[in-house]
Amino acid sequence: MQIQVDLSAMLDGELDPAGVRRVMVHSDLCESCRQFLDGIRSQVRFHKKLAAALAPVAATVAETPELSQLRQRLTANRRKLSRVLYELGRGFVLMGLSADFSREVAKEPVPVPDMAMKGRNLLDEVARAEAGAPGPEWVAARELFDGHLRSADENLARGQRLLSECLALDPDSHESRIYLGVVHYARGQRAMARHQFQDVLTRATDRKVRGFALLNLGNVHLDEGDGEGAAALLKQLVDSGVISEQPSLSTAYFNLGLACGMAGQFGDCVAWFQRMAKELPHKKSWMAKELGRRSHFVHLIRNHPDAKVVSEAFPSWFQARPAG
């Protein structure tokens, strides 16, 4: 019953993150939920065929109220179905990328499929349980998976499939395209990732969506050693002012520091690192950890004769380690 409520909320675009995690887990285990998702895929194929069949008819037949209403209904249905595919696809991508997110999914209390199939109202069971304590038919997700969930590669593959199906249904789902680009990026497929992010920048008008596309495309340039190209994209993001609306985009400051350092602009490198540390002091440890993953950049700062200004501004980040 809970999963039915979650699925209904998901179709209406009102499902919270915990509900999405429950559906992710349950759809792997419950035959009814798998049939529901397979039904969505069947509707996706049906919608595509129907749209193709109606196209030549619409070109020759005058628009009527009935035809207009049908078109509006189909469009609304396509958006609802694509939203379900997006939410699930995004969740599986995050599971493939983040150990922290995977741990959250593993802890999610979910109804045991066999109990759900007996027709008992699990919502009532949970309501009667003590606050915060799931009822007897609810277990942590990891227990249903014999202590482990899918591998990172398997989760990324499933997320990619769901996001691709979403885009087949709704090519304007720019968020799906960004996460699909992230999958390509995680697999080292930079050209394919670049294509997805650039497509978003070409077609999307939403400021936050464009901000995420700029941030991710900047990361591609950084990995390719193109500091100037990355800096141009990231400065465009900062100048848009969207970071004040979406604080998670503030990592652009740190990435700008990297980009400027790679381009030999060490004064600007210090300025961007300092801005990040000042505006988000709680991110200092994250910055140090991130630099630890970028040995080539650390080597550059330690050894370039003009980079002393950076190592002096952040001595704990760039101090040379004792031999041995």
Report residue 188: phi and psi, to 5°: 80, 10
**pLDDT of the residue at 1:** 63
Task: For residues 139 and 189, state if they share a domain.
Answer: no
Task: For residues 101 and 217, state if they share a domain.
Answer: no
> Average pLDDT, stretch 143-171?
80
Task: For residues 103 and 233, state if they share a domain.
Answer: no
Q: Structural domain of residue 40, as residue ranges?
A: 2-152
Q: Which of 98-107, 165-174, 202-211 has the lowest mean pLDDT?
A: 98-107
Task: For residues 137 and 188, state if they share a domain.
Answer: no
Q: Is the pLDDT of residue 122 over 70?
A: no
Per the rule left: phi > 0, alpha: psi between -120 and 50, beta: everything else, 241 is left
Task: For residues 40 and 92, state if they share a domain.
Answer: yes
| pTM for the whole structure | 0.78
Whether residue 161 lies inside any domain: the answer is no
Whether residue 323 lies inside any domain: the answer is no
- The tally of domains found in the chain comes to 2
The chain-wide mean pLDDT, for the chain, equals 81
**pLDDT of the residue at 269:** 96
Whether residue 163 lies inside any domain: the answer is no
Task: For residues 216 and 122, state if they share a domain.
Answer: no
Task: For residues 228 and 304, state if they share a domain.
Answer: yes
Residue of 180, 235, 176 lying closest to 211 (CA atoms): 235
Task: For residues 127 and 236, state if they share a domain.
Answer: no
Burial 175-211 (b: 16+ CB within 10 A, else e): bbbbbbbbbbbeeeebeebbebbebbeeebeeebbbb
Whether residue 272 lies inside any domain: the answer is yes
Whether residue 206 lies inside any domain: the answer is yes
pLDDT digits (tens, 9 = 90+) for 283-292: 988 999 998 8
Give the gyration radius of the chain's Cα atoms.
24
Task: For residues 183 and 311, state if they share a domain.
Answer: yes
Task: For residues 177 and 303, state if they share a domain.
Answer: yes
The CA-CA-CA angle for residues 185, 188, 191, to 5°, reads 70
CATH number, domain of 240, equals: 1.25.40.10
pLDDT digits (tens, 9 = 90+) for 188-226: 999 999 999 999 999 999 999 999 999 999 999 999 999
Report residue 111: phi and psi, to 5°: -75, 140
Cα→Cα distances 77→51, 81, 203, 207, Å: 13, 6, 22, 26
**pLDDT of the residue at 43:** 72
Task: For residues 177 and 259, state if they share a domain.
Answer: yes
Whether residue 84 lies inside any domain: the answer is yes
pLDDT digits (tens, 9 = 90+) for 220-271: 999 999 999 999 999 999 999 999 999 889 999 999 999 999 999 999 999 9
